[in-house]
Structure 1
Amino acid sequence: MTDAITEVKEALDGQVDAWNRGELEKAMTYYWNSPDMLWISRNGTETGYQEVLDGFQKDFTNRSKMGVYTYEPLHIEQVSAEAVYYVYHWKIDLQGKKLMGGVSSQLWKKLDGRWVITTEHAS
């Protein structure tokens, strides 16, 4: 396994850990803080880090609404020296019941020395 793949796996684990501690803003630091960051869901597309953060803050107003995030890797590949494509099955449980879940595909890029999600399709 390449260092890039290992680093991206560790980054996603860091994001999930922050989410499960109720640290939404910390979890968001794993996304590219740019107006060009792309979020794709069954509702369409959203462009921009701030827009995505605003949507998450609206949907998850406090820790009690965030639930517990888990995932299972389905596919990961390094597509260039500084880009990794990661696909996984995810779910968020709230009080022991599935709140939401599906499959996510993320494009991670190494920018300014750290791995960040530049594009995510979650559905």
Structure 2
Amino acid sequence: MIKKGLFALLILMAFSASAVPTDDISQVIQEQEAAWNRGDLDGYMQGYWNNDKMRFVSGDKFRYGWESTLAAYKKNYPDKATLGTLKFTIKDIKMLSNYAAMVVGRWQLTRAKDQPHGVFTLLVEKIDDRWVITHDHTSD
């Protein structure tokens, strides 16, 4: 009887442990969306790894570093009108290990003059006990 109970507990722990990282990763993306929609680019950037090795790829550009990425966001989105309203839709989170995941999804901006949209692939890693985006490939 004890063996069956222990086995059931181990199974429950295994399923609970595997569900938590994807929930935590989804929360990072949701917090970014909320920060963007408040007009808080500094808050939006909290989802990224604050390191010079963080990589952002979009169009034909490779950008390295948290600071340079934040500066580019502030240059390209100087006010609420250009920020618009952001909506992320996560299509898939694939755990690559206990400390890394690939996130694939869509983004949509709703602005008065247009509605740009596209797709993204993120490498999200657990660093210093936090899930952060270490590589972002976003396209139209």
Query: Which of residues 94, 108, 111 in structure 1 aligns to 2:124?
Result: 108
1:24 aligns with: 41
Percent identity over the alignment?
A: 28
Whether 2:124 is the aligned partner of 1:69: answer no
- The alpha-carbon deviation at position 96 of structure 1 amounts to 7.1
Match of 2:9 in 1: none
Return the offset for 1:73. 1.9
Which structure 1 residue ranges, 4+ long, deviate > 3 Å from structure 2?
Answer: none
Q: Give the number of aligned pairs.
A: 122
CA distance in structure 2 between the partners assigned to 1:30 and 1:75 by the alignment = 18
Q: CA deviation at 1:57?
A: 0.6
Question: Structure 2 length as normaliser, TM-score?
Answer: 0.82
The answer on whether the counterparts of 2:122 and 2:137 sit within 8 Å (CA) in structure 1 is yes
Instruction: Check the 8 A contact 2:29/2:88 in 1, yes or no.
Output: no
**TM-score with structure 1 length normalisation?**
0.93
**Equivalents in 1 of 2:60, 2:75: separation in Å?**
15
Unaligned runs of 5+ in 2: 1-17
Higher strand share: 1
**Based on CA coordinates, which of the two structures has the bigger radius of gyration?**
2
Higher relative contact order, structure no. (Cα contacts within 8 Å, ≥ 6 residues apart): 1
2:64 counterpart of 1:47: yes
Separation in 2, partners of 1:101, 1:48: 24
Q: Could you tell me whether the CA contact under 8 Å between 2:123 and 2:135 is conserved in 1? A: yes
- In structure 2, give the amino acid aligned to 1:102: G
SS of alignment partner, residue 90 of structure 1? strand
- Which residue does the alignment assign to 1:6? 23
What is the Cα-based RMSD across aligned positions, in Å?
A: 1.3
Q: Is the 8 A contact 2:81 2:112 kept in 1?
A: no
Where structure 1 has 5 or more consecutive residues not aligned to the other structure, the ranges are none
